[in-house]
A and B are shown apart, each in its own frame.
Chain A
Amino acid sequence: MESFKKVASMITPLDKVNVDTDQIIPKQFLKLIQKSGFGKFLFFDWRYDEHENKRPDFVLNDSRYANSKILVAGDNFGCGSSREHAVWALLDYGFSVIIAPSFADIFFSNCFKNGILPISLDEKTVEKLQKETNPIEVDLEKQTITTPSEKIFFNIDPHKKKILLEGLDDIAQTLQYEDKITEFEKNSGIPPILIND
């Protein structure tokens, strides 16, 4: 996984609550066996009509947001099916930060496994960010979001922060400690608690 430090870009406002993973990547694309390329199917039914023409009123079809890396959405983002394809599609499309008042549990966890930073902020701040038309900067190290008018602090679990900053995934991280784990298990008979540092 690539390491995550800072992202600066325009935001893409997605003013919807309860965006479920089936909207993010509709079921017909779950069958695809290839490893990448899910980005072109991101929000497919919202992006395209039944003849696969772009729907001009959908935000991803608005050229102003073409290179955006930061998605700002409503409450309970990523609910529904546990499909990790949803995170793969967002990442492949180019999003590396998602800001919302709240996230669904499995989706939230899947983000960290793939190098996406999900940021949960209070509803008012999210609403304000959705209206931001200038580029903003998200700094994971400092845990800040900088807009032309203010600096917003966000919370993140220190362990998850480390995973993103170092580009580790759980499996790679466990392997870093494989010797210690084996040693510990031999001596204590108790499953190890992974050490953070």
Chain B
Amino acid sequence: MNIVEKILARASNKSKVSPDDVVFANVDKVMVHDVSGPGVIKVFDKLKKQGISVDKLWDSSKVWVAEDHFVPSAEKVSAENIVKLSNFTKQYGIEKHFKYGMGQYGICHTISHEEAMVMPGDVYVGGDSHTNTTGALGAFSCGLGHTDVAYVLLNGKIWFKVPETYYFRLNGKLPDHVMAKDFILKIIGDIGTDGGAYRTMQFGGSGIDEMSVQSRLTLCNMTTEAGAKNGIVEPDQKVIDYLTRRGATNLSLVKGDADAEYEKMFEYEGSEMEPVVAKPFSPENISIVRESPSVELDKCYIGSCTGAKYEDLEAAARILKGRKVKIRTEILPAAISIYRRAMENGLLKIFLDAGVTVGPPTCGACCGAHMGVLAKDEICISTTNRNFPGRMGHVESQTYLSSPLVAAASAVTGKITDPRDLK
């Protein structure tokens, strides 16, 4: 069995599972945030009317809650949702609620690894489509709709059809000017936004072994944009170190068998990878940066679960050090812990010296919520994950998706720029 089959077999108390088997898996962790939480509350209200008891959850200690989409509240409806969420966690005795303005908080998918909420081998589900981010830790992670999350909260289990697995092998290290974001965009460009439909996308090979955990998180995060069930990387010593530093103990690593089967293999050479952008209006609309049309940009946004981890900020700082931005640029660290490290290591000073606005952790403008959304006809380069029409604001605005290196280089020139071409 491969790693995914092994995790699902363990979670469903079976000795063996194969693709297309339907399993009823025990869930290890569940997450809701300030959009899916109120969504789940609605489902609970409906169930209550049907006479179904929603008095207690299956296991409050396995549930955790993030505030990220509409925080800090920009208006009263968002504020009411946060109150609703707080009442919910209080009512059900959920202790792990990361509240803004009370120490550590941030984007749910960032908290999931920054706070070691998800362990290798876990079945982890959440009310958000980028829940698969933690596949990079060797977990089976995936997003669910509100009804499914409500179901898991009450029963601790959920159905899965065991997915087929596509294996993406990266041979050799990525060059210094190329990031994991470029690699995953390249893959989405190759297979399309539904190319991974109901598959697990597994990443391996020497290039992945060399890659940091944070880079692997970027890869798994954006398997969503390929339509995949999730992404996964077999855990190694780097994952153990990463989680141990964040307080985890008793880690056990699940790996695939030597004779594991994959539906399809894809091969990539690290040395051949180039910085790319995804042009409007689809993440599959890929163009190599040096071959991209010369577009005058209005904004640069470095944020989100995809593109504002510490490593992403460090990459941006490498470019912005001693330079000035030419267009409006915002950097929003994805969690308070990252914000703090950026402060302690001098990154915030580099950003402020460059003219950048540094904002609080939030999904913010990635989902067009607040904190710098786009006006009609505005063009933005962004380290986020989607560029469908209107994703970051006005339906006639445009977003180019890129790595933090390309975004920062483009902020300096005001045009889409390969980091190698900066003077």
| B is bound to A | yes
A residues touching B (Cβ–Cβ < 8 Å)? Answer: 18, 20, 22-23, 26-28, 30-33, 35, 45-46, 50, 75-76, 79-85, 87, 102, 104-107, 109-110, 113-114, 169-172, 174-175, 189-194
When distances are taken between beta carbons in the complex, the residues of chain A under 8 Å from B143 are 82, 106
Query: Does the CB pair B50–A23 fall under 8 Å?
Result: no
Q: Across the A-B interface, give the 4 residue pairs with the lowest CB-CB distance, nearest first.
A: A110-B145, A113-B147, A82-B129, A45-B395
* 14 new A-B contacts at CB < 8 Å, known A18-B193, A46-B395, A102-B197: A28-B369, A45-B395, A50-B376, A76-B197, A80-B391, A83-B35, A106-B143, A107-B145, A170-B147, A170-B151, A170-B159, A171-B147, A171-B151, A194-B24
Tell whether B413 is near chain A: CB-to-CB under 8 Å: no
Q: How far is the CB of A41 from chain B (nearest CB, A)?
A: 13
When distances are taken between beta carbons in the complex, the residues of chain B under 8 Å from A109 are 144-145, 148
Q: How far is the CB of B365 from chain A (nearest CB, A)?
A: 10
Q: How far is the CB of A92 from chain B (nearest CB, A)?
A: 13
When distances are taken between beta carbons in the complex, the residues of chain A under 8 Å from B155 are 171, 174
- Give the complex CA separation of A169 and B367 in angstroms: 30
Binding stretch for chain A, among B1-9, B89-97, B176-184, B382-390: B382-390
Query: Does the CB pair A106–B368 fall under 8 Å?
Result: no
Q: How far is the CB of B304 from chain A (nearest CB, A)?
A: 13
When distances are taken between beta carbons in the complex, the residues of chain A under 8 Å from B198 are 105
Tell whether B113 is near chain A: CB-to-CB under 8 Å: no
Classify chain B's interface size: 35 or more
- Give the complex CA separation of A194 and B374 in angstroms: 48
10 sampled A-B residue pairs with Cβ under 8 A? A26-B368, A35-B46, A45-B395, A79-B193, A82-B143, A82-B145, A83-B35, A84-B146, A104-B194, A192-B24
When distances are taken between beta carbons in the complex, the residues of chain A under 8 Å from B81 are 31, 33
Contact with A along B68-87 (1 / 0, CB 8 A): 01100000011011001000
- Give the complex CA separation of A31 and B71 in angstroms: 11
Binding stretch for chain A, among B37-45, B209-217, B352-360: B37-45
When distances are taken between beta carbons in the complex, the residues of chain A under 8 Å from B388 are 18, 20, 22-23, 80
Tell whether B47 is near chain A: CB-to-CB under 8 Å: yes
Query: Does the CB pair B386–A80 fall under 8 Å?
Result: yes
B residues touching A (Cβ–Cβ < 8 Å)? Answer: 12-13, 24, 26, 35-36, 38-39, 42, 45-47, 50, 52, 69-70, 77-78, 80-81, 84, 127-129, 143-148, 150-151, 154-155, 157, 159, 193-194, 197-198, 227, 229, 282, 367-369, 376, 386, 388-391, 394-395
Query: Does the CB pair A23–B52 fall under 8 Å?
Result: no
Query: Does the CB pair B128–A191 fall under 8 Å?
Result: no
When distances are taken between beta carbons in the complex, the residues of chain A under 8 Å from B78 are 31
Q: How far is the CB of A2 from chain B (nearest CB, A)?
A: 13
Residue in chain A with minimal CB distance to B81: A31
Query: Does the CB pair A105–B229 fall under 8 Å?
Result: yes
- Give the complex CA separation of A109 and B151 in angstroms: 13
With A83-B35, A171-B47 already in contact, the answer to whether A191 and B150 are too (CB < 8 A) is no
With A33-B77, A35-B46 already in contact, the answer to whether A75 and B194 are too (CB < 8 A) is yes
Residue in chain A with minimal CB distance to B53: A175
When distances are taken between beta carbons in the complex, the residues of chain A under 8 Å from B146 are 84, 110
With A31-B78, A191-B24 already in contact, the answer to whether A171 and B150 are too (CB < 8 A) is yes
Query: Does the CB pair B389–A76 fall under 8 Å?
Result: no
Query: Does the CB pair B80–A33 fall under 8 Å?
Result: yes
Q: How far is the CB of B290 from chain A (nearest CB, A)?
A: 27
When distances are taken between beta carbons in the complex, the residues of chain A under 8 Å from B369 are 27-28
Query: Does the CB pair B227–A84 fall under 8 Å?
Result: no
- Give the complex CA separation of A68 and B235 in angstroms: 50
Interface centre among B46, B78, B369, B390 (most CB of A within 10 A): B390
Query: Does the CB pair B391–A191 fall under 8 Å?
Result: no
Residue in chain A with minimal CB distance to B128: A82
With A22-B388, A46-B395 already in contact, the answer to whether A76 and B52 are too (CB < 8 A) is no
With A27-B368, A35-B42, A76-B194 already in contact, the answer to whether A22 and B390 are too (CB < 8 A) is yes
When distances are taken between beta carbons in the complex, the residues of chain B under 8 Å from A76 are 193-194, 197, 227
- Give the complex CA separation of A141 and B151 in angstroms: 27
Choose from A102, A113, A174, A194 the contact partner of B145 (Cβ within 8 Å). A113
